[in-house]
Amino acid sequence: MANTSPGASSSTYTYINTKLTAETETTVVPSIITQSDQIAIYFTDDLEEFVRITHIDLVKAFQIPDDYSHETRDIINMLHEDVAHMLRDGLITGIHLLLSDNVLDPGTDAFYVRYHVRYIIDNPDNAFTPPPPGKRFGGLVAPPPKVWHDSRFALLIDWSSSSKDRRHMVRRPDYCFDWLPHEERFDATNEVCYREGSLAVDSAQLVGRFEHAAREHQKGLY
């Protein structure tokens, strides 16, 4: 399924890594900061703040094996590498961070969404030509207080319409993780956008970020 995004009991693709070995090492120190790198940094800076606030265990969420680094920074660095790589290859158009109830709703057979960050990506120049520095608008993500309690975390991606024949290639050793489709259903019918942000270069927007929360979790928003 291309361009998947959470909606009313929609089917989505969730990121899952498998067979990650200790031989893989990543360090995000690019000698040339491309547009794809800037977008990946924008996302992973948000992800780092999200993890700091919510205390989400990325080791558990991504099933990191015991024989590999369990440092949050190392995992985020690897995600940066893979997101930048997929952007350079023109494979993805969006990313989603989700917090949902951790039990399926029996009426919809879906996980009810509490908090949702949607990144809409416009990456026209994925070459290695260094672009001007990007500017962040809207600060870092700011989830509602306590929305993460007893929640279920998911990281979803939207595939580009042209990536259908190449998705099976998004795995090790070319990537840090194996990005495999895993179908799940999320019910986001009650979410409302309460905050926006973006990444822009020379007034051209590269990423639009939209934070949503279910109505019952919007009390006490930052």
Top-level class of domain 10-217: alpha beta
Cβ-contact 177, 62 below 8 angstroms:
yes
- Partnered with residue 105 across adjacent β-strands are 110
Q: In the chain, what are the domain boundaries?
A: 10-217
Sorted by sequence, the CB contacts under 8 Å of residue 75 that are 6+ apart come out as 58, 59, 62, 64, 69
d(CA 39, CA 72): 20
Question: Which tens digits make up the pLDDT trace of 35-86?
Answer: 999 999 999 999 999 999 999 999 999 888 777 789 999 999 999 999 999 9
Q: State if pTM tops 0.75.
A: yes
Question: Which tens digits make up the pLDDT trace of 111-135?
Answer: 999 999 999 998 766 555 566 888 9
| Average pLDDT rounded to a whole number, residues 151-175 | 90
Q: Which residue has the higher pLDDT, 10 or 119?
A: 119
| Average pLDDT rounded to a whole number, residues 132-150 | 94
Provide the percentage of residues in the chain whose pLDDT is more than 70.
Answer: 80
